[in-house]
Amino acid sequence: MKRWYAGTALLLAMAVTAAACGAGGRPEGEDAGSTVGITDTTIKIGAHFPLTGVAAPGYSEIPSGHQAYYDYVNANGGVNGRKIEFVVKDDAYNPTNTSQVTNELVLNDEIFAMVSGLGTPTHSAVVDYLNDAKVPDLFVSSGSLQWGDWPKEKPFTFGWQPDYEIEGKIVGDWVKKNMPDAKVGLFLQDDDFGRDGEKGARRYLDDQIVAVAKYTPGNTDVAPQMAQLQAAGVDLVLGFNVPSYTALSQLVSLRIGFKPKWFYSNVGSDPALVGSLLARFSEGAVTDGASMLNGVMTTEYLKGVDAPDDPWMKLWQKVWDEHGADGDLTNYRVYGMSQAYTFVQALQAAGPNPTREGIVEAIEKQGGSFEGPGVAPFRFTGDSHLGMSGMSVVEIQGGVGEDLTPVLVTDLGDAPIKEDDSAAGDEPPSNGIPNVKPAE
């Protein structure tokens, strides 16, 4: 009994002491722009990527592209004397992990900004948190509309690649004009990706679409979907799907004797990755996977490794040779370097003393005029944080994309589709580092 009293007394004493260390009231203070993550010589940024797990093939190469380009910039003096540190965390494409590693990036690593966090389901888990914490959330690696179509609600978030709705519109318009008699079937991933793509395509193709088949990521049996499209008499499949489902749909349709024309969205069409996946999924039965994609149509907004003579590709090759990790330059690394290039532009636009609020403002003011590797300009303004405004339609032959159209540019809703090659001619600066003047 006595020991019990003694214990309670001790605890109470501890509690009172702890409470006495408190403050009593709040001090007054005012808010200047936040400079978390910035010192005179460094600026720390971070991102979440799937480095392990099902989504890792391909996507895990993107951060190595970022790193190579930042190393290149740092070796040339950095941005305004600051070296860029890029911290990558693995979320294994699991939104619960994304939330944990984002906590770690923001609170423990104290990053200035999230740059190019990857994935629609994963990033949507943290987008509210980043905006509440006022952490710039730049150039998300996903084409979902939610990063940019409502900047009042998510003022710190910016998209980067063309969103899935305008991709759907451009694809739909092209099919309407060039294959007006095709019976179109949609093969969709069952999330924003498929939904936004379908919305865009239906704007032009509503009366040509005869069947819609959806798949859930993770379920690797797509035979029912392919059989459904075949039974509906489809002769052109539009796929808004990820690369592994391009490979699966090709293999299954081969098996059931389904031979339509194929049109895959940009996301699912990387010939090198799909080729290697085909070889793996078919357990060696398909040896030359890339050639299976001959005649497949897709869209393109960045020049890739199939165009080694493009001036941007020459720059990326040089950067990769000088600062890259092991392995060859791939389209995913090019994607990462291109995002890194845009980030360096944004950082320059934010001026010599960047703040979190300042960089957002600078992108809204100047982002629309950033010249970069993308074939179409960004749509960044105070009213839209959506990324690139267009792409071109290409046909894959021998692993190389051949242009079927000039660059087509549009926006959400009923904005018209226009030909606009103005941004496609942008050349990289001779030293490979952008030179954006600070916003006024």
Partner 1 sequence: MVRRHLLLALGALVVVVLVLENTSQFRNAQFGAMAYYAIAAGGLTVLTGLNGQLSLGHGALMAVGAYTTALMLQSREDSLPLPVILALAIVVTLVVGALVGVAAARLHGPYLAGATLALAVAVPGIPLFFGEWLGGEQGLNVRLPEIPVWLADAAYFVTGQELTQIRFLAYLGWLAAIVVFVLLANLSRSRIGRNWQAVRDDEVAAELAGINLGRARVQAFVVSAGCAGLAGGLLALSARLAAPSGFTLTLSLLLLSAVVLGGLGSLVGALVGAALLTFLPQVVTGAGTDLGLTDVQAAQLAPLIYGLVTVLVVLLAPAGLAGGLRKLINWRRSS
Contacts with partner 1, residue ranges (CB under 8 A): 4, 7-8, 11, 14-15, 18-19, 21-26, 51-52, 56, 60, 63, 88-90, 92-96, 99-100, 103-104, 107-108, 120-121, 124-126, 128-129, 132, 189-192, 216-218, 325
To the nearest whole angstrom, how small is the minimum distance from the Cβ of residue 276 to partner 1? 17
To the nearest whole angstrom, how small is the minimum distance from the Cβ of residue 420 to partner 1? 32
Residues contacting 161, CB < 8 A, separation 6+:
141, 142, 143, 266, 301, 387, 388
To the nearest whole angstrom, how small is the minimum distance from the Cβ of residue 275 to partner 1? 22
Which residue in 136, 38, 31 sits closest to 354, CA to CA?
38
| Residue number with CB closer to partner 1 (35 or 100) | 100
| Residue number with CB closer to partner 1 (18 or 309) | 18
| Residue number with CB closer to partner 1 (63 or 159) | 63
* CA angle centred on 412, ends 313 and 438, rounded to 5°: 55
Quote the CA–CA distance of 210 and 185 in Å, as a whole number. 6
To the nearest whole angstrom, how small is the minimum distance from the Cβ of residue 124 to partner 1? 6
* CA angle centred on 288, ends 287 and 294, rounded to 5°: 145
| Residue number with CB closer to partner 1 (9 or 415) | 9
| Residue number with CB closer to partner 1 (115 or 349) | 115
| Residue number with CB closer to partner 1 (215 or 262) | 215
Strand partners, 263: 238, 297
To the nearest whole angstrom, how small is the minimum distance from the Cβ of residue 222 to partner 1? 15
Quote the CA–CA distance of 135 and 45 in Å, as a whole number. 10
Quote the CA–CA distance of 253 and 432 in Å, as a whole number. 44
**Beta-carbon count within 10 A of 76 CB:** 11
Q: Write the burial class of residue 107 (CB in 10 Å: 0-12 exposed, 13-18 middle, 19+ buried).
A: exposed
| Residue number with CB closer to partner 1 (103 or 276) | 103
| Crossing angle for the helix pair 271-281 and 243-256, to the nearest 10 degrees | 50
Sole residue written with tokens 């214990």:
7
| Residue number with CB closer to partner 1 (51 or 400) | 51
Sole residue written with tokens 């994935």:
119
| Residue number with CB closer to partner 1 (11 or 285) | 11
Residues contacting 405, CB < 8 A, separation 6+:
174, 392, 393, 419
The sign of the CA dihedral 326, 46, 49, 156 is negative
Q: In what helix (H) or strand (E) does residue 184 lie, and over which residues does it extend?
A: strand 184-189
Question: Is 243 strand, coil or helix?
Answer: helix
To the nearest whole angstrom, how small is the minimum distance from the Cβ of residue 75 to partner 1? 19
To the nearest whole angstrom, how small is the minimum distance from the Cβ of residue 51 to partner 1? 4
To the nearest whole angstrom, how small is the minimum distance from the Cβ of residue 91 to partner 1? 9
DSSP 187: E
To the nearest whole angstrom, how small is the minimum distance from the Cβ of residue 66 to partner 1? 11
Which residue in 69, 108, 70 sits closest to 89, CA to CA?
108
To the nearest whole angstrom, how small is the minimum distance from the Cβ of residue 93 to partner 1? 7
| Residue number with CB closer to partner 1 (285 or 325) | 325
**Beta-carbon count within 10 A of 431 CB:** 10
